[in-house]
Structure 1
Amino acid sequence: MDKIKVLVVDDHPMVLEGMRSMLTLINFVALTGIVPNAYEAMEAIKKEEPAIVFTDINMPEVSGIELTEKIKKEFPEVKIIAMSTFKERSYISQMIQQGASGYLVKSASKEEIEEAILSVYEGHLYISSDINMTQTEQQEIKNIPVISSREKEVLQLIADGKTNPQIAEQLYLSMHTVDSHRKNLLTKFGVNNTAALIKLAARHNLV
């Protein structure tokens, strides 16, 4: 098979070097680069066209969550695997909601990294074996609707009990726009009232 082109994004030099060492040992991987931030990542993706991007979640300036959203918008075919020391479900759901296909803890072995790359490359969702999550929970996370950052702001304010006029005033939007966002959220979550929307959003750690 052709080698799978991989790019790594992390602001810690030790992590980058560790990933470089491990990935160069995997015979089906072609490491196209290791970069320290989101800006260089976008440039490298444009130039090298990797199939998979490993990204840290907690990076200064632009987080891995924001970077994932940006990559999926500009390069939808690129698969993303999140790397983190965190095992909290909220981080996992946020990354997957933005379009990531995998989630690895930074203590992952070379064997697990291999498994994650192959799994994600073949179109599956991969969650680190260190994270205690059932198949049902993984499927549930996969089914979380993708919402824009503006919809997320509106959703949070709805959860805070704000009315449409209050939301419009706070976000400098027209009433019509707020109403559209609210309707879109109800449609995306497959519910028909605000109470059900908030309940479902809370279950997915979105509010």
Structure 2
Amino acid sequence: MIRVQIVDDHPLVVEGLERIINDSGIARIIGKAYSLKDCWRMLARATADVLLLDIGLPDGNGIDACAQILKKYPGVKILMLTSYAELNVITQSLENGALGYVLKNSTVEEIIEGICTVALDERFLCEEVDLLLRTKKEDTVSLSRRERELLKLIAEGHTMNTISEIMYIGYETVKSYRKNIMTKLQVPNTAALIRYAVERKIV
């Protein structure tokens, strides 16, 4: 049974979480705190396997507290559970040591899965946050003019030999370009490359 503690300043949220977690049969609540001051007192008495930590608290913010808690209690696995879906808030929380990030509008299944995942010392992001981070990562990918040209030709269905002739480069160079593009975009095959090109209207 995974032992869980909650830090959130909304009693109704805490009560709801306590009910769904205890009813899961997988985890149970062993402590609740409604402020950072209460949190430190709770942790001094006992630490859980997983700490659900809100960000907007009456006496501080959970992002800074995350790093401070892990410094004193490195064995605690922190899962941020909050309403903040801003990219900078998410990335700062993860940089400060949070193993997971779940929004309060997540499904019960996602919250329980998040608890189970971080308890195993593995990263967990709810679907909305995961999509946000992946979209941002894709937006920052920069392809050169030649790479975009080659991607367009691949998406149009040209063979490697034909692309070599159209671009006036060797066959091995075409293969090298394709490999570099796949690495940059983190896609596994040509079909995924074509899908990427179509979705972004490169063709």
Give the TM-score taking structure 1 as reference length.
0.62
Structure 2 contact 80–102 (Cα < 8 Å) conserved:
yes
Aligned partners of 2:62 and 2:47: how far apart in 1? 18
Greater C-alpha Rg? 2
For 1:18, the equivalent position in structure 2 comes to 16
**Equivalent of 2:78 in 67, 77, 80:** 80
Q: Deviations over 1:76-124 (max 9, x none)?
A: 1101011111211101111111110000000122211111011111121
Decide whether aligned partners of structure 1 residues 135 and 102 sit closer, same or farther in structure 2, where only a CA change above 3 A counts: farther
Q: Which runs of 5+ in 1 are unaligned?
A: 138-207
Decide whether aligned partners of structure 1 residues 108 and 97 sit closer, same or farther in structure 2, where only a CA change above 3 A counts: same
After TM superposition, the runs of 4+ consecutive aligned structure 1 residues lying more than 2 A away are 133-137
Aligned partners of 1:41 and 1:135: how far apart in 2? 34
For 1:188, the equivalent position in structure 2 comes to none
Aligned partners of 1:41 and 1:64: how far apart in 2? 11
Aligned partners of 1:112 and 1:89: how far apart in 2? 19
Aligned AA (1:108): S
For 1:169, the equivalent position in structure 2 comes to none
For 2:46, the equivalent position in structure 1 comes to 48
Aligned AA (2:16): G
Q: Matched residue of 1:80: which SS?
A: strand
C-alpha displacement at 1:51, in angstroms? 0.9
C-alpha displacement at 1:46, in angstroms? 2.2
C-alpha displacement at 1:134, in angstroms? 2.4
Q: Matched residue of 2:93: which SS?
A: helix
**Equivalent of 1:110 in 108, 113, 122:** 108
Aligned partners of 1:103 and 1:88: how far apart in 2? 12
**Equivalent of 2:92 in 74, 77, 94:** 94
Aligned partners of 1:29 and 1:68: how far apart in 2? 21
Give the TM-score taking structure 2 as reference length.
0.63
Aligned partners of 1:44 and 1:28: how far apart in 2? 22
Q: Matched residue of 2:60: which SS?
A: coil
For 2:156, the equivalent position in structure 1 comes to none
Alpha-carbon RMSD: 1.6
Correspondence list, 1:30-179, <5 A: 30-131=28-129, 132=131, 133-134=133-134, 137=137
Decide whether aligned partners of structure 1 residues 135 and 43 sit closer, same or farther in structure 2, where only a CA change above 3 A counts: farther
Aligned partners of 1:135 and 1:28: how far apart in 2? 32
Aligned partners of 1:60 and 1:37: how far apart in 2? 6
Aligned partners of 1:135 and 1:78: how far apart in 2? 30
Aligned partners of 2:52 and 2:63: how far apart in 1? 12
Q: How many residues align?
A: 135
Q: Which runs of 5+ in 2 are unaligned?
A: 138-203
